[in-house]
Amino acid sequence: MKKINIAIDGPSGVGKSTIAKNIAKNLNYLFINTGLMYRAVAYFCIQNKIDLNDERKVINNLNKIILIMHPCEEVSLNNINITSHLWKDEISIFASKIASYKKVREFCVQKQQKFAIEKGVVMEGRDIGSVVIPNAELKIFLVANLEVRTARRMIQLEERKIPYDKDNVFNNIKKRDELDKNRENDPLIKMPDAIEIDTSNISIEEVIKKILLLVDERISNE
Ligand code: C5P
């Protein structure tokens, strides 16, 4: 069966990774969570006491980072699997900060694009349809209101047994929305050829069903 590339973009907490993971499993495609790469770069800076607000310092240290993405949302940094450290809520805001730096984006995007050379990838992030795989056969842009996204993020943190404070989660998502939408380099935007799905009032299962129908449609049009 012919394979396509699927780009899933949207703001924080909208359900991108759960949805993308399920779609990939269903189609037997490769799933890539690109946010993990930005989180790993932020984690490296924190571990090495590099000031995340100092763009030049962050960039000068990129050559010390060997990032390897493994299947199923696992990432290793300089040969150590650091995935379990990356889900903490405070890492996400630091990731958003360094994700605004052009060179950091180039560093991550270059790796992401290699995964998309062969068709059959479901990749999620903020700039997948606009920058990473602009020729993806299917582009989905997910949205949901802030309350729903906060609730989903809390469930995710609970599942990962990570302590959280509700107000912090809410404010964190709000702040990341601002950073991701308003940054100069590769901001979060809906491409004209992306299909928007508002997931506020429908279940994740329904969203997955909708996307799988769109995939069938695209494959039969190829
Ligand atoms: O998707 P996740 O919330 O794990 O991403 C962490 C941060 O990395 C986001 O808040 C965003 O600023 C950044 N990011 C990005 N581009 C991507 C994926 C994530 O800028 N493709």
pLDDT digits (tens, 9 = 90+) for 151-202: 999 998 999 899 999 999 999 999 999 999 999 999 999 999 999 999 999 9
In which band, very low, low, confident or very high, does the pLDDT at 150 lie, cut at 50, 70 and 90? Answer: very high
In which band, very low, low, confident or very high, does the pLDDT at 221 lie, cut at 50, 70 and 90? Answer: confident
Beta bridge pairs of residue 138 = 6
Rounded to whole angstroms, what are the CA distances from 160 to 37, 85, 154, 155, 202? Answer: 19, 11, 10, 9, 23
Residues in the ligand 1 pocket, defined by CB under 6 Å: 12, 34-35, 38-39, 92, 95-96, 99, 125-127, 176, 180
Residue 122 · residue 6 · CB < 8 Å: yes
Beta bridge pairs of residue 70 = 74
Q: What is the mean pLDDT of the chain?
A: 95
Ligand 1 centroid – CA 87 distance (Å): 12
Ligand 1 centroid – CA 148 distance (Å): 19
Tens digits of residue pLDDT in 21-50: 999 999 999 999 999 999 999 999 999 999
What lies within 8 Å, CB to CB, of 84 at 6+ separation is none
Ligand 1 centroid – CA 125 distance (Å): 6
- Which residue's CA is the closest to the ligand 1 atom numbered 19? 35
- Which residue's CA is the closest to the ligand 1 atom numbered 5? 35
Nearest ligand 1 atom to alpha carbon 36:
4
Whole-structure pTM value: 0.96
Nearest ligand 1 atom to alpha carbon 124:
21
- Which residue's CA is the closest to the ligand 1 atom numbered 2? 35
Residue 154 · residue 169 · CB < 8 Å: yes
Torsions phi, psi of 140, nearest 5? -120, 135
Nearest ligand 1 atom to alpha carbon 16:
1
CA 197 – CA 9 distance, rounded (Å): 11
Ligand 1 centroid – CA 219 distance (Å): 28
Q: Give the per-residue pLDDT at 28.
A: 97
Residue 1 has pLDDT above 90, yes or no: no
Ligand 1 centroid – CA 93 distance (Å): 9
Q: Give the per-residue pLDDT at 88.
A: 86
